[in-house]
Structure 1
Amino acid sequence: MDPNRMPALFVSHGSPMTALEPGAAGAFMQALGPRIDTAFGRPKAILAVSAHTAARAPVLLAAARHEAVYDFGGFDPKLYELRYDAPGAPALAERVVALMGEAGLPVHLSREGGLDHGNWTPLRYLYPEADVPVLPLAFVPTQTPEQQFALGKALAPLADDGVLVLASGSITHNLRRVFSSGMRGPVDAKEIPESAAFRHWMAERSAARDWEALFAYRERAPHAPDMHPTDEHLLPWYVAAGAGGREAAPLRLHESVTYGCLGMDAYAFGPNAQRLLG
Structure 2
Amino acid sequence: MPNALPTFFVSHGGGPWPFMKDQYGSTYDKLEASLIDMRRQVGVRPKAVLVVSSHWEQAGLMVSSSAAPGMIYDYGGFPPHTYHVSYPAPGSPELARQVADLLGQAGHAVSPDPLRGFDHGTFSMLYPVYPQADMPVVQLSIKLGYDPQTHMDIGRALAPLRSEGVLIIGSGLSYHNLRQFGPGGQKASHGFDAWLQHVLRKLPPAERGAAMLHWSEAPYARLAHPREDHLMPLMVALGAAENEPASCVYHEDDFFGSLAVSSFRFGAAA
Q: TM-score, normalised by structure 2?
A: 0.89
1:265 equivalent to 2:256? Answer no
CA pair 190-24 structure 1, distance change in 2 beyond 3 A: farther
Q: Could you tell me whether the CA contact under 8 Å between 2:64 and 2:113 is conserved in 1? A: yes
Q: Which moved more, 1:75-84 or 1:42-51?
A: 75-84
Cα offset for 1:206? 1.0
Cα offset for 1:264? 3.6
The CA distance in 2 between the partners of 1:107 and 1:157, in whole Å, is: 17
Cα offset for 1:47? 0.9
The CA distance in 2 between the partners of 1:216 and 1:53, in whole Å, is: 23
* Aligned with residue 35 of structure 2, among 4, 17, 29: 29
1:197 equivalent to 2:178? Answer no
Which consecutive residues of structure 1, in runs of 5 or more, have no partner in the other structure?
181-188
Q: Could you tell me whether the CA contact under 8 Å between 1:170 and 1:263 is conserved in 2? A: no
Counting only pairs closer than 5 Å after superposition, residues 206-225 of structure 1 correspond to structure 2 as: 206-207=200-201, 208-209=203-204, 210-219=208-217, 221-225=218-222
**One-letter amino acid matched to 1:31:** D
**Matching residue of 2:14:** 15
1:133 equivalent to 2:136? Answer yes
**Matching residue of 1:236:** 233
**One-letter amino acid matched to 2:175:** T
Q: CA-to-partner distance for each residue in 1:222-245, whole Å, 9 max, x for gaps?
A: 111111010100111001101112
SS of 1:66's equivalent?
Answer: coil
Q: Could you tell me whether the CA contact under 8 Å between 1:173 and 1:263 is conserved in 2? A: no
Q: Which moved more, 1:166-175 or 1:78-87?
A: 78-87
CA pair 120-32 structure 1, distance change in 2 beyond 3 A: same
The CA distance in 1 between the partners of 2:107 and 2:129, in whole Å, is: 32
**Matching residue of 1:166:** 169
The CA distance in 2 between the partners of 1:164 and 1:114, in whole Å, is: 19
Cα offset for 1:259? 2.1
**Matching residue of 2:245:** 249
Percent sequence identity over aligned pairs? 34
Q: CA-to-partner distance for each residue in 1:33-69, whole Å, 9 max, x for gaps?
A: 2442xx2x11101111110011110001100112331
* Aligned with residue 148 of structure 2, among 145, 148, 172: 145
More strand by share: 2
Q: Which moved more, 1:148-157 or 1:261-270?
A: 261-270
Cα offset for 1:191? 7.4
Which segments of structure 1 move beyond 3 Å, counting only runs of 4 or more? 260-264
**Matching residue of 2:66:** 63
**Matching residue of 2:105:** 102
**Matching residue of 1:53:** 56
**Matching residue of 1:186:** none
Pairwise CA RMSD of aligned residues?
1.9
Q: Which moved more, 1:162-171 or 1:97-106?
A: 97-106
Q: CA-to-partner distance for each residue in 1:131-180, whole Å, 9 max, x for gaps?
A: 110111112031311110000101000001100111100000110012x7
* Aligned with residue 82 of structure 2, among 79, 82, 95: 79
**One-letter amino acid matched to 1:204:** H
CA pair 69-262 structure 1, distance change in 2 beyond 3 A: farther
CA pair 150-264 structure 1, distance change in 2 beyond 3 A: same
Cα offset for 1:261? 5.5
The CA distance in 2 between the partners of 1:84 and 1:262, in whole Å, is: 29
Cα offset for 1:17? 4.8
The CA distance in 2 between the partners of 1:264 and 1:130, in whole Å, is: 26
Q: Could you tell me whether the CA contact under 8 Å between 1:191 and 1:260 is conserved in 2? A: no
Q: Could you tell me whether the CA contact under 8 Å between 1:254 and 1:266 is conserved in 2? A: yes
CA pair 190-55 structure 1, distance change in 2 beyond 3 A: closer
The CA distance in 2 between the partners of 1:261 and 1:216, in whole Å, is: 26
Q: Could you tell me whether the CA contact under 8 Å between 1:151 and 1:242 is conserved in 2? A: yes
Count of residues in Structure 1 that have an aligned counterpart in Structure 2:
258
